[in-house]
Amino acid sequence: MITNFILAPILMHLFTAIMLLFTMRYLRLQRIISVTGNIIAFVLCLRLFFVTLEHDYLIVQIGNWQAPFGIIFVSDTLSAIMVLLTAIVSLSVGIYSTAAINPSRIRFGYFMNFHFLIMGLLGVFLTGDIFNLYVWFEIVIISSFVLLTLGGKKMQMEGAIKYVSLNMLASAVFLTAIGILYGITGTLNMADLAVKIGEVENEGLVSVTALLFFAGFGIKSAIFPMYFWLPSSYHTPPSAIAAVFGSLLTKMGVYALIRTFTLIFQPDEFIQWVFIIIAILTLITGGLGTINKKSVRRLLSYLIVCHIGYLIACMGLYTELAFVGMIFYLMHDVVVKSNLLMITGILQKIRNTIDMTRLGGFGKDYPKISFLIAISMFSLVGIPPLSGFWPKIQFFGESLKSGHYVLLGAIIFASFVTLFVMLKTWSEVFWKDSPKRLTEDIDRFAPLRKENKFALIAPIAFLAFVSLYLGLNAGQVYDLAHRTAEELMNPNHYIDAVLNGNFKK
Protein backbone atom coordinates (compact mmCIF):
# COMPACT_ATOMS: atom_id res chain seq x y z
CA MET A 1 0.00 0.00 0.00
CA ILE A 2 1.32 3.46 -0.78
CA THR A 3 0.80 5.62 2.26
CA ASN A 4 2.41 8.67 3.82
CA PHE A 5 1.68 7.23 7.24
CA ILE A 6 5.13 5.58 7.39
CA LEU A 7 6.67 8.99 7.99
CA ALA A 8 4.34 9.86 10.87
CA PRO A 9 6.46 8.43 13.74
CA ILE A 10 9.63 10.03 12.32
CA LEU A 11 7.92 13.41 11.93
CA MET A 12 6.41 13.15 15.41
CA HIS A 13 9.86 12.83 16.97
CA LEU A 14 11.21 15.63 14.77
CA PHE A 15 8.34 17.86 15.83
CA THR A 16 8.87 17.02 19.50
CA ALA A 17 12.58 17.76 19.23
CA ILE A 18 11.88 21.16 17.63
CA MET A 19 9.36 21.98 20.35
CA LEU A 20 11.96 21.07 22.96
CA LEU A 21 14.52 23.28 21.26
CA PHE A 22 12.30 26.30 21.88
CA THR A 23 11.69 25.51 25.56
CA MET A 24 15.22 24.62 26.63
CA ARG A 25 15.10 26.68 29.82
CA TYR A 26 11.86 25.35 31.31
CA LEU A 27 12.56 22.04 33.01
CA ARG A 28 8.98 21.07 33.72
CA LEU A 29 7.84 21.90 30.19
CA GLN A 30 10.73 19.88 28.74
CA ARG A 31 9.63 16.79 30.66
CA ILE A 32 5.95 17.23 29.77
CA ILE A 33 6.61 17.79 26.05
CA SER A 34 8.99 14.85 25.86
CA VAL A 35 6.63 12.40 27.55
CA THR A 36 3.65 13.58 25.51
CA GLY A 37 5.63 13.32 22.28
CA ASN A 38 6.79 9.85 23.23
CA ILE A 39 3.28 8.66 23.99
CA ILE A 40 1.88 9.98 20.70
CA ALA A 41 4.82 8.49 18.79
CA PHE A 42 4.27 5.17 20.57
CA VAL A 43 0.66 5.08 19.44
CA LEU A 44 1.70 5.95 15.88
CA CYS A 45 4.36 3.22 15.88
CA LEU A 46 1.85 0.70 17.21
CA ARG A 47 -0.56 1.63 14.44
CA LEU A 48 2.22 1.41 11.83
CA PHE A 49 3.01 -2.08 13.14
CA PHE A 50 -0.55 -3.33 12.77
CA VAL A 51 -1.12 -1.65 9.40
CA THR A 52 2.07 -3.28 8.12
CA LEU A 53 0.95 -6.68 9.36
CA GLU A 54 -2.32 -6.21 7.54
CA HIS A 55 -0.98 -4.94 4.22
CA ASP A 56 2.43 -6.74 4.09
CA TYR A 57 4.35 -3.86 2.53
CA LEU A 58 3.89 -0.13 3.06
CA ILE A 59 5.75 2.20 0.74
CA VAL A 60 6.07 5.93 0.33
CA GLN A 61 7.91 7.48 -2.60
CA ILE A 62 9.22 10.88 -1.60
CA GLY A 63 8.20 13.60 -4.05
CA ASN A 64 6.36 10.92 -6.04
CA TRP A 65 9.54 9.91 -7.85
CA GLN A 66 9.16 6.35 -9.12
CA ALA A 67 11.01 3.67 -7.19
CA PRO A 68 14.54 3.28 -8.53
CA PHE A 69 15.01 7.05 -8.96
CA GLY A 70 13.68 8.70 -5.83
CA ILE A 71 14.18 8.00 -2.15
CA ILE A 72 11.65 5.54 -0.78
CA PHE A 73 10.61 4.42 2.67
CA VAL A 74 9.49 0.82 3.05
CA SER A 75 7.89 -0.86 6.00
CA ASP A 76 7.95 -4.64 5.94
CA THR A 77 7.56 -6.95 8.93
CA LEU A 78 11.19 -6.64 10.07
CA SER A 79 11.04 -2.84 9.91
CA ALA A 80 7.71 -2.82 11.71
CA ILE A 81 9.10 -4.98 14.52
CA MET A 82 12.14 -2.75 14.91
CA VAL A 83 9.94 0.37 14.90
CA LEU A 84 7.72 -1.09 17.59
CA LEU A 85 10.74 -2.05 19.73
CA THR A 86 12.18 1.44 19.31
CA ALA A 87 8.86 2.90 20.41
CA ILE A 88 8.69 0.66 23.49
CA VAL A 89 12.26 1.48 24.57
CA SER A 90 11.90 5.18 23.77
CA LEU A 91 8.69 5.48 25.77
CA SER A 92 10.11 3.71 28.82
CA VAL A 93 13.47 5.46 28.75
CA GLY A 94 11.74 8.78 28.09
CA ILE A 95 9.61 8.41 31.22
CA TYR A 96 12.57 7.10 33.22
CA SER A 97 14.69 10.09 32.13
CA THR A 98 12.26 12.61 33.61
CA ALA A 99 13.37 11.50 37.07
CA ALA A 100 16.79 9.98 36.39
CA ILE A 101 18.48 12.75 34.40
CA ASN A 102 19.56 15.70 36.50
CA PRO A 103 18.38 19.23 35.66
CA SER A 104 21.69 20.52 34.31
CA ARG A 105 21.75 17.86 31.59
CA ILE A 106 18.14 18.67 30.68
CA ARG A 107 19.05 22.35 30.40
CA PHE A 108 21.79 21.43 27.94
CA GLY A 109 19.27 19.77 25.64
CA TYR A 110 19.18 16.15 26.78
CA PHE A 111 15.60 15.54 25.67
CA MET A 112 16.07 17.25 22.32
CA ASN A 113 19.02 15.03 21.45
CA PHE A 114 17.17 12.00 22.74
CA HIS A 115 14.31 12.63 20.32
CA PHE A 116 16.67 13.27 17.41
CA LEU A 117 18.34 9.96 18.24
CA ILE A 118 15.03 8.10 18.19
CA MET A 119 14.05 9.87 14.98
CA GLY A 120 17.29 8.70 13.37
CA LEU A 121 16.72 5.14 14.53
CA LEU A 122 13.22 5.08 13.07
CA GLY A 123 14.65 6.43 9.82
CA VAL A 124 17.28 3.68 9.72
CA PHE A 125 14.63 1.02 10.16
CA LEU A 126 12.22 2.42 7.58
CA THR A 127 14.33 3.65 4.69
CA GLY A 128 14.65 1.70 1.48
CA ASP A 129 17.59 3.59 0.01
CA ILE A 130 21.19 2.74 0.84
CA PHE A 131 22.51 6.31 0.83
CA ASN A 132 19.55 7.48 2.85
CA LEU A 133 20.46 4.74 5.33
CA TYR A 134 23.90 6.36 5.63
CA VAL A 135 22.34 9.75 6.33
CA TRP A 136 20.10 8.31 9.07
CA PHE A 137 23.11 6.53 10.55
CA GLU A 138 24.88 9.88 10.76
CA ILE A 139 21.89 11.49 12.47
CA VAL A 140 21.92 8.71 15.03
CA ILE A 141 25.65 8.86 15.72
CA ILE A 142 25.87 12.62 16.03
CA SER A 143 22.98 12.63 18.51
CA SER A 144 24.64 9.78 20.38
CA PHE A 145 27.94 11.70 20.48
CA VAL A 146 26.20 14.61 22.17
CA LEU A 147 24.32 12.35 24.60
CA LEU A 148 27.50 10.48 25.48
CA THR A 149 29.54 13.60 26.17
CA LEU A 150 26.81 15.65 27.85
CA GLY A 151 28.09 16.41 31.32
CA GLY A 152 31.76 16.47 30.38
CA LYS A 153 33.21 14.36 33.19
CA LYS A 154 36.73 13.06 32.73
CA MET A 155 35.64 9.46 32.45
CA GLN A 156 32.99 10.36 29.87
CA MET A 157 35.54 12.21 27.77
CA GLU A 158 37.89 9.24 27.76
CA GLY A 159 35.10 6.92 26.65
CA ALA A 160 33.84 9.41 24.10
CA ILE A 161 37.10 9.76 22.23
CA LYS A 162 37.14 6.03 21.41
CA TYR A 163 33.44 5.96 20.61
CA VAL A 164 33.58 9.00 18.34
CA SER A 165 36.70 8.04 16.41
CA LEU A 166 35.66 4.44 15.74
CA ASN A 167 32.13 5.43 14.74
CA MET A 168 33.50 8.05 12.35
CA LEU A 169 35.78 5.40 10.87
CA ALA A 170 32.81 3.03 10.48
CA SER A 171 30.92 5.74 8.62
CA ALA A 172 33.87 6.31 6.29
CA VAL A 173 34.05 2.57 5.52
CA PHE A 174 30.30 2.48 4.93
CA LEU A 175 30.54 5.50 2.61
CA THR A 176 33.38 3.86 0.66
CA ALA A 177 31.25 0.74 0.25
CA ILE A 178 28.32 2.81 -1.02
CA GLY A 179 30.63 4.58 -3.49
CA ILE A 180 31.91 1.31 -4.96
CA LEU A 181 28.41 -0.16 -5.02
CA TYR A 182 27.11 2.84 -6.94
CA GLY A 183 30.05 2.54 -9.30
CA ILE A 184 29.31 -1.08 -10.20
CA THR A 185 25.51 -0.94 -10.30
CA GLY A 186 24.52 2.69 -10.90
CA THR A 187 21.65 2.69 -8.42
CA LEU A 188 21.06 3.33 -4.72
CA ASN A 189 17.60 1.87 -4.18
CA MET A 190 18.01 -1.33 -2.16
CA ALA A 191 15.49 -3.38 -4.13
CA ASP A 192 16.97 -2.19 -7.42
CA LEU A 193 20.47 -2.98 -6.10
CA ALA A 194 19.34 -6.51 -5.33
CA VAL A 195 18.33 -6.94 -8.98
CA LYS A 196 21.34 -5.20 -10.53
CA ILE A 197 23.96 -6.85 -8.34
CA GLY A 198 23.15 -10.18 -9.97
CA GLU A 199 24.04 -8.76 -13.38
CA VAL A 200 27.50 -7.56 -12.36
CA GLU A 201 30.20 -9.65 -14.03
CA ASN A 202 33.08 -8.76 -11.72
CA GLU A 203 32.18 -11.03 -8.81
CA GLY A 204 35.38 -10.30 -6.89
CA LEU A 205 34.45 -6.64 -6.64
CA VAL A 206 30.99 -7.58 -5.32
CA SER A 207 32.56 -9.71 -2.60
CA VAL A 208 34.93 -6.90 -1.62
CA THR A 209 32.00 -4.49 -1.37
CA ALA A 210 30.07 -6.99 0.72
CA LEU A 211 32.99 -7.31 3.12
CA LEU A 212 33.33 -3.51 3.32
CA PHE A 213 29.66 -3.32 4.34
CA PHE A 214 30.31 -6.10 6.82
CA ALA A 215 33.22 -4.18 8.35
CA GLY A 216 31.32 -0.88 8.48
CA PHE A 217 28.21 -2.35 10.10
CA GLY A 218 30.36 -4.69 12.17
CA ILE A 219 32.06 -1.81 13.96
CA LYS A 220 28.65 -0.33 14.76
CA SER A 221 27.18 -3.58 16.00
CA ALA A 222 30.31 -4.38 18.06
CA ILE A 223 31.37 -7.77 16.70
CA PHE A 224 34.59 -9.56 17.53
CA PRO A 225 37.69 -7.73 16.39
CA MET A 226 35.94 -4.36 16.38
CA TYR A 227 34.03 -4.19 19.66
CA PHE A 228 36.63 -2.56 21.90
CA TRP A 229 35.01 0.84 21.78
CA LEU A 230 31.85 -0.50 23.41
CA PRO A 231 33.04 -1.73 26.83
CA SER A 232 35.27 1.31 27.20
CA SER A 233 32.52 3.85 26.58
CA TYR A 234 29.13 2.39 27.53
CA HIS A 235 29.70 2.50 31.27
CA THR A 236 30.34 6.25 31.28
CA PRO A 237 27.02 7.98 30.47
CA PRO A 238 23.99 8.02 32.83
CA SER A 239 21.96 4.83 32.90
CA ALA A 240 19.05 6.20 30.85
CA ILE A 241 21.41 6.99 27.96
CA ALA A 242 23.20 3.67 28.35
CA ALA A 243 19.83 1.91 28.15
CA VAL A 244 19.08 3.37 24.71
CA PHE A 245 22.64 2.83 23.48
CA GLY A 246 22.97 -0.70 24.77
CA SER A 247 19.65 -1.90 23.46
CA LEU A 248 19.08 -0.03 20.22
CA LEU A 249 22.35 1.35 18.82
CA THR A 250 24.11 -1.98 18.43
CA LYS A 251 20.90 -3.53 17.09
CA MET A 252 20.85 -0.79 14.46
CA GLY A 253 24.11 -2.22 13.11
CA VAL A 254 22.67 -5.73 13.25
CA TYR A 255 19.52 -4.57 11.44
CA ALA A 256 21.67 -3.04 8.68
CA LEU A 257 23.63 -6.29 8.42
CA ILE A 258 20.42 -8.32 8.16
CA ARG A 259 19.02 -5.97 5.54
CA THR A 260 22.08 -5.83 3.30
CA PHE A 261 22.98 -9.50 3.59
CA THR A 262 19.50 -10.86 2.93
CA LEU A 263 18.39 -8.39 0.28
CA ILE A 264 21.39 -7.07 -1.62
CA PHE A 265 24.13 -9.66 -1.15
CA GLN A 266 23.10 -13.29 -0.99
CA PRO A 267 25.87 -14.70 1.19
CA ASP A 268 27.98 -17.36 -0.49
CA GLU A 269 29.84 -20.12 1.32
CA PHE A 270 32.80 -17.88 2.13
CA ILE A 271 30.79 -15.04 3.67
CA GLN A 272 28.74 -17.52 5.71
CA TRP A 273 31.96 -18.92 7.13
CA VAL A 274 33.17 -15.42 7.96
CA PHE A 275 29.91 -14.80 9.82
CA ILE A 276 30.16 -18.06 11.76
CA ILE A 277 33.81 -17.69 12.77
CA ILE A 278 33.26 -14.10 13.86
CA ALA A 279 30.15 -15.15 15.79
CA ILE A 280 32.11 -17.85 17.65
CA LEU A 281 34.87 -15.40 18.56
CA THR A 282 32.36 -12.73 19.61
CA LEU A 283 30.51 -15.17 21.87
CA ILE A 284 33.71 -16.42 23.52
CA THR A 285 35.58 -13.12 23.94
CA GLY A 286 32.46 -11.25 25.04
CA GLY A 287 31.65 -14.03 27.50
CA LEU A 288 35.15 -14.14 28.94
CA GLY A 289 35.13 -10.36 29.31
CA THR A 290 32.15 -10.45 31.68
CA ILE A 291 33.61 -12.92 34.17
CA ASN A 292 36.02 -10.72 36.11
CA LYS A 293 33.97 -7.54 36.17
CA LYS A 294 32.99 -6.08 39.52
CA SER A 295 30.89 -3.19 38.26
CA VAL A 296 27.42 -4.24 37.09
CA ARG A 297 27.48 -1.74 34.25
CA ARG A 298 30.81 -2.96 32.83
CA LEU A 299 29.57 -6.50 33.09
CA LEU A 300 26.47 -5.61 31.08
CA SER A 301 28.59 -3.86 28.41
CA TYR A 302 30.46 -7.09 27.78
CA LEU A 303 27.21 -9.06 27.81
CA ILE A 304 25.91 -6.81 25.03
CA VAL A 305 28.95 -7.77 22.93
CA CYS A 306 28.56 -11.45 23.80
CA HIS A 307 24.89 -11.57 22.83
CA ILE A 308 25.47 -9.86 19.49
CA GLY A 309 27.28 -13.13 18.69
CA TYR A 310 23.98 -15.06 18.72
CA LEU A 311 22.52 -12.78 16.07
CA ILE A 312 25.63 -12.94 13.88
CA ALA A 313 25.65 -16.75 14.23
CA CYS A 314 22.10 -16.88 12.83
CA MET A 315 23.20 -14.77 9.88
CA GLY A 316 25.95 -17.32 9.27
CA LEU A 317 23.63 -20.32 9.50
CA TYR A 318 21.25 -18.64 7.03
CA THR A 319 18.29 -20.98 7.39
CA GLU A 320 14.69 -20.02 7.94
CA LEU A 321 14.54 -21.44 11.47
CA ALA A 322 17.78 -19.70 12.42
CA PHE A 323 16.20 -16.45 11.28
CA VAL A 324 13.14 -17.19 13.41
CA GLY A 325 15.44 -17.52 16.42
CA MET A 326 17.30 -14.37 15.43
CA ILE A 327 14.16 -12.22 15.18
CA PHE A 328 12.78 -13.59 18.44
CA TYR A 329 16.11 -12.99 20.17
CA LEU A 330 16.31 -9.47 18.76
CA MET A 331 12.94 -8.61 20.33
CA HIS A 332 13.84 -10.23 23.65
CA ASP A 333 17.32 -8.68 23.78
CA VAL A 334 16.21 -5.10 23.12
CA VAL A 335 13.59 -5.23 25.86
CA VAL A 336 15.67 -6.99 28.50
CA LYS A 337 18.97 -5.15 27.95
CA SER A 338 17.38 -1.73 28.15
CA ASN A 339 15.59 -2.83 31.31
CA LEU A 340 18.75 -4.11 33.00
CA LEU A 341 20.67 -0.95 32.15
CA MET A 342 17.90 1.16 33.65
CA ILE A 343 17.99 -1.06 36.74
CA THR A 344 21.68 -0.24 37.25
CA GLY A 345 20.54 3.37 37.48
CA ILE A 346 18.17 2.48 40.33
CA LEU A 347 20.94 0.59 42.14
CA GLN A 348 23.16 3.64 41.75
CA LYS A 349 20.40 5.84 43.10
CA ILE A 350 19.78 3.69 46.18
CA ARG A 351 23.31 2.61 47.13
CA ASN A 352 25.38 5.29 45.38
CA THR A 353 27.56 2.65 43.74
CA ILE A 354 27.23 -0.16 41.22
CA ASP A 355 30.36 -1.97 42.36
CA MET A 356 29.31 -5.50 43.36
CA THR A 357 31.72 -5.76 46.27
CA ARG A 358 30.17 -2.74 47.93
CA LEU A 359 26.55 -3.66 47.22
CA GLY A 360 24.34 -6.10 49.08
CA GLY A 361 21.20 -6.61 51.07
CA PHE A 362 19.07 -5.23 48.29
CA GLY A 363 16.54 -8.06 48.36
CA LYS A 364 15.80 -7.48 52.02
CA ASP A 365 15.43 -3.71 51.78
CA TYR A 366 13.48 -3.50 48.52
CA PRO A 367 11.73 -6.84 47.97
CA LYS A 368 9.18 -5.60 45.41
CA ILE A 369 11.75 -3.92 43.16
CA SER A 370 14.00 -6.96 43.51
CA PHE A 371 11.22 -9.19 42.22
CA LEU A 372 10.85 -7.01 39.12
CA ILE A 373 14.60 -7.10 38.57
CA ALA A 374 14.64 -10.88 38.98
CA ILE A 375 12.18 -11.26 36.09
CA SER A 376 14.49 -9.36 33.75
CA MET A 377 17.66 -11.06 34.92
CA PHE A 378 16.28 -14.56 34.62
CA SER A 379 14.71 -13.93 31.24
CA LEU A 380 18.13 -12.76 30.01
CA VAL A 381 19.58 -16.06 31.19
CA GLY A 382 16.79 -17.90 29.39
CA ILE A 383 15.03 -19.80 32.12
CA PRO A 384 11.79 -21.24 30.75
CA PRO A 385 9.14 -19.98 30.29
CA LEU A 386 10.71 -16.50 30.17
CA SER A 387 11.50 -14.88 26.84
CA GLY A 388 15.18 -15.75 26.53
CA PHE A 389 14.47 -19.47 26.48
CA TRP A 390 12.57 -19.83 23.19
CA PRO A 391 15.08 -18.35 20.72
CA LYS A 392 17.93 -20.32 22.29
CA ILE A 393 16.21 -23.60 21.42
CA GLN A 394 16.32 -22.48 17.79
CA PHE A 395 20.02 -21.59 18.04
CA PHE A 396 20.90 -25.00 19.48
CA GLY A 397 18.70 -26.90 17.05
CA GLU A 398 19.89 -25.11 13.94
CA SER A 399 23.60 -25.21 14.73
CA LEU A 400 23.30 -28.92 15.53
CA LYS A 401 21.36 -29.61 12.35
CA SER A 402 23.86 -27.83 10.12
CA GLY A 403 26.79 -29.58 11.80
CA HIS A 404 28.55 -26.49 13.19
CA TYR A 405 29.56 -28.12 16.45
CA VAL A 406 32.10 -25.48 17.44
CA LEU A 407 29.41 -22.85 17.08
CA LEU A 408 27.08 -24.97 19.19
CA GLY A 409 29.79 -25.16 21.85
CA ALA A 410 30.30 -21.39 21.74
CA ILE A 411 26.56 -20.76 22.08
CA ILE A 412 26.33 -23.11 25.07
CA PHE A 413 29.42 -21.47 26.59
CA ALA A 414 27.90 -18.00 26.18
CA SER A 415 24.63 -19.16 27.75
CA PHE A 416 26.48 -20.63 30.72
CA VAL A 417 28.53 -17.48 31.17
CA THR A 418 25.34 -15.43 31.12
CA LEU A 419 23.83 -17.71 33.75
CA PHE A 420 27.00 -17.52 35.85
CA VAL A 421 27.33 -13.73 35.83
CA MET A 422 23.61 -13.19 36.41
CA LEU A 423 23.66 -15.55 39.40
CA LYS A 424 26.80 -13.83 40.66
CA THR A 425 25.11 -10.44 40.35
CA TRP A 426 22.00 -11.78 42.05
CA SER A 427 23.85 -13.23 45.01
CA GLU A 428 26.24 -10.28 45.38
CA VAL A 429 23.71 -7.49 45.01
CA PHE A 430 20.49 -8.98 46.35
CA TRP A 431 21.22 -11.90 48.65
CA LYS A 432 24.34 -11.22 50.65
CA ASP A 433 24.23 -8.77 53.54
CA SER A 434 25.35 -5.28 52.85
CA PRO A 435 29.09 -5.06 53.57
CA LYS A 436 28.89 -1.68 55.23
CA ARG A 437 26.46 -0.02 57.61
CA LEU A 438 23.88 1.87 55.61
CA THR A 439 22.98 5.33 56.67
CA GLU A 440 19.88 7.16 55.59
CA ASP A 441 21.76 9.77 53.58
CA ILE A 442 23.25 7.28 51.09
CA ASP A 443 19.80 6.31 49.83
CA ARG A 444 18.73 8.97 47.38
CA PHE A 445 15.73 6.94 46.28
CA ALA A 446 13.61 6.86 49.46
CA PRO A 447 13.37 10.65 49.91
CA LEU A 448 12.18 11.13 46.31
CA ARG A 449 8.69 12.41 45.72
CA LYS A 450 6.02 9.91 44.78
CA GLU A 451 5.77 10.87 41.09
CA ASN A 452 9.53 10.61 40.69
CA LYS A 453 9.55 7.15 42.22
CA PHE A 454 6.75 6.20 39.86
CA ALA A 455 8.73 7.54 36.87
CA LEU A 456 11.69 5.40 37.85
CA ILE A 457 9.84 2.18 38.62
CA ALA A 458 6.98 2.21 36.08
CA PRO A 459 9.22 1.84 32.96
CA ILE A 460 11.03 -1.09 34.57
CA ALA A 461 7.74 -2.75 35.44
CA PHE A 462 6.48 -2.10 31.91
CA LEU A 463 9.55 -3.65 30.27
CA ALA A 464 9.45 -6.60 32.67
CA PHE A 465 5.83 -7.07 31.65
CA VAL A 466 6.75 -6.94 27.94
CA SER A 467 9.46 -9.51 28.55
CA LEU A 468 6.97 -11.74 30.38
CA TYR A 469 4.51 -11.29 27.53
CA LEU A 470 7.13 -12.32 24.98
CA GLY A 471 7.88 -15.44 27.01
CA LEU A 472 4.38 -16.53 27.98
CA ASN A 473 2.84 -15.65 24.64
CA ALA A 474 5.65 -17.27 22.67
CA GLY A 475 3.33 -18.88 20.14
CA GLN A 476 2.19 -15.56 18.73
CA VAL A 477 5.68 -14.07 18.79
CA TYR A 478 6.97 -17.20 17.10
CA ASP A 479 4.41 -16.76 14.29
CA LEU A 480 5.52 -13.17 13.86
CA ALA A 481 9.19 -14.19 13.77
CA HIS A 482 8.35 -16.95 11.31
CA ARG A 483 6.63 -14.52 9.01
CA THR A 484 9.64 -12.18 9.14
CA ALA A 485 12.05 -15.04 8.47
CA GLU A 486 10.00 -16.06 5.46
CA GLU A 487 10.17 -12.53 4.07
CA LEU A 488 13.91 -12.40 4.66
CA MET A 489 14.50 -15.72 2.94
CA ASN A 490 12.45 -14.65 -0.10
CA PRO A 491 13.57 -11.11 -0.94
CA ASN A 492 11.66 -11.31 -4.23
CA HIS A 493 8.47 -10.15 -2.51
CA TYR A 494 10.24 -7.04 -1.26
CA ILE A 495 11.72 -6.33 -4.69
CA ASP A 496 8.36 -6.93 -6.35
CA ALA A 497 6.61 -4.60 -3.91
CA VAL A 498 9.11 -1.79 -4.37
CA LEU A 499 9.69 -1.96 -8.12
CA ASN A 500 6.39 -3.28 -9.47
CA GLY A 501 3.92 -2.25 -6.82
CA ASN A 502 2.61 -5.73 -5.94
CA PHE A 503 2.18 -5.10 -2.24
CA LYS A 504 0.35 -8.30 -1.33
CA LYS A 505 2.39 -11.47 -1.07
Interaction with another protein in 387-416: which residues (CB under 8 A)?
Answer: none
Q: Which is nearer to another protein, 134 or 213 (CB)?
A: 134
**Which of these ranges, 148-156, 189-197, 266-274, 370-378, lies near another protein under the rule CB under 8 A?**
148-156
Give the nearest distance from C-beta 154 to another protein in angstroms: 5
How buried is 355 (Cβ within 10 angstroms: 0-12 exposed, 13-18 middle, 19+ buried)?
middle
Which amino acid, one-letter code, is at 474? Answer: A
Length of the chain: 505
Residue 385 preceded by cis peptide, ω within 30? yes
Give the nearest distance from C-beta 270 to another protein in angstroms: 24
At 488, give phi and psi (nearest 5°): -70, -35
**Which of these ranges, 22-30, 120-128, 144-152, 320-328, lies near another protein under the rule CB under 8 A?**
144-152
- Interhelix angle 154-185/130-149, rounded to 10 degrees, is 170
Q: Which is nearer to another protein, 183 or 435 (CB)?
A: 183
Sequential DSSP letters for 314-359: HHHH--HHHHHHHHHHHHHHHHHHHHHHHHHHHHHHHHS--BGGG-
Round to whole Å and give the CA distance between 165 and 70. 32
Round to whole Å and give the CA distance between 81 and 224. 26
Interaction with another protein in 276-315: which residues (CB under 8 A)?
Answer: 292-295, 298
Round to whole Å and give the CA distance between 105 and 111. 9
Judged by CB under 8 A, which of 36, 103, 158, 416 binds another protein? 158
Q: CB-hemisphere CA count at 13 Å for 91?
A: 23
Q: Which is nearer to another protein, 188 or 411 (CB)?
A: 188
Q: Which is nearer to another protein, 169 or 277 (CB)?
A: 169
Which residues, including other chains, have CB under 8 Å from residue 72's CB and lie 6 or more apart? 59, 60, 61, 62, 127, 128, 129, 189, 498
What are the distances in angstroms from CA 190 to CA 230, 425, 505? Answer: 29, 44, 19
Judged by CB under 8 A, which of 54, 63, 64, 154 binds another protein? 154
At 60, give phi and psi (nearest 5°): -130, 130
Round to whole Å and give the CA distance between 301 and 240. 14
Q: Is 145 near another protein (CB under 8 A)?
A: yes
Which amino acid, one-letter code, is at 32? Answer: I
Q: Is 135 near another protein (CB under 8 A)?
A: yes
Judged by CB under 8 A, which of 149, 344, 387, 399 binds another protein? 149
Of 244, 301, 235, 246, nearest to 93 by C-alpha is 244
Judged by CB under 8 A, which of 179, 225, 385, 447 binds another protein? 179
Per rule CB under 8 A, count of chain residues that contact another protein: 40
Across 2-70, where does the E strand assignment appear?
A: 58-61
Q: Which is nearer to another protein, 311 or 421 (CB)?
A: 421
Q: Which is nearer to another protein, 72 or 87 (CB)?
A: 72
Q: Which is nearer to another protein, 148 or 480 (CB)?
A: 148
Which amino acid, one-letter code, is at 49? Answer: F
Q: What is the per-residue binding string for another protein in 69-108, x denoting contact by CB under 8 A?
A: ----------------------------------------
Q: Which is nearer to another protein, 71 or 257 (CB)?
A: 71
Interaction with another protein in 219-258: which residues (CB under 8 A)?
Answer: 232
Q: Which is nearer to another protein, 221 or 301 (CB)?
A: 301
Give the nearest distance from C-beta 179 to another protein in angstroms: 4
Round to whole Å and give the CA distance between 258 and 169. 21
Judged by CB under 8 A, which of 104, 165, 357, 427 binds another protein? 165
Q: Which is nearer to another protein, 182 or 431 (CB)?
A: 182
Q: Is 164 near another protein (CB under 8 A)?
A: yes
Q: Which is nearer to another protein, 238 or 382 (CB)?
A: 238
CB 34 within 8 A of CB 103: no
Interaction with another protein in 5-34: which residues (CB under 8 A)?
Answer: none
Give the nearest distance from C-beta 252 to another protein in angstroms: 17
Q: CB-hemisphere CA count at 13 Å for 215?
A: 17
Judged by CB under 8 A, which of 24, 138, 267, 319 binds another protein? 138
Q: Is 157 near another protein (CB under 8 A)?
A: yes
Q: What is the per-residue binding string for another protein in 182-221, x denoting contact by CB under 8 A?
A: xxx-x-x---------------------------------
Which residues, including other chains, have CB under 8 Å from residue 82's CB and lie 6 or more apart? 125, 251, 255, 330
Judged by CB under 8 A, which of 11, 43, 175, 393 binds another protein? 175
- Applying CB under 8 A, the residues found at the interface with another protein are 131, 134-135, 138, 141-142, 145-146, 149, 152-155, 157-158, 160-162, 164-165, 168-169, 171-172, 175-176, 178-180, 182-184, 186, 188, 232, 292-295, 298
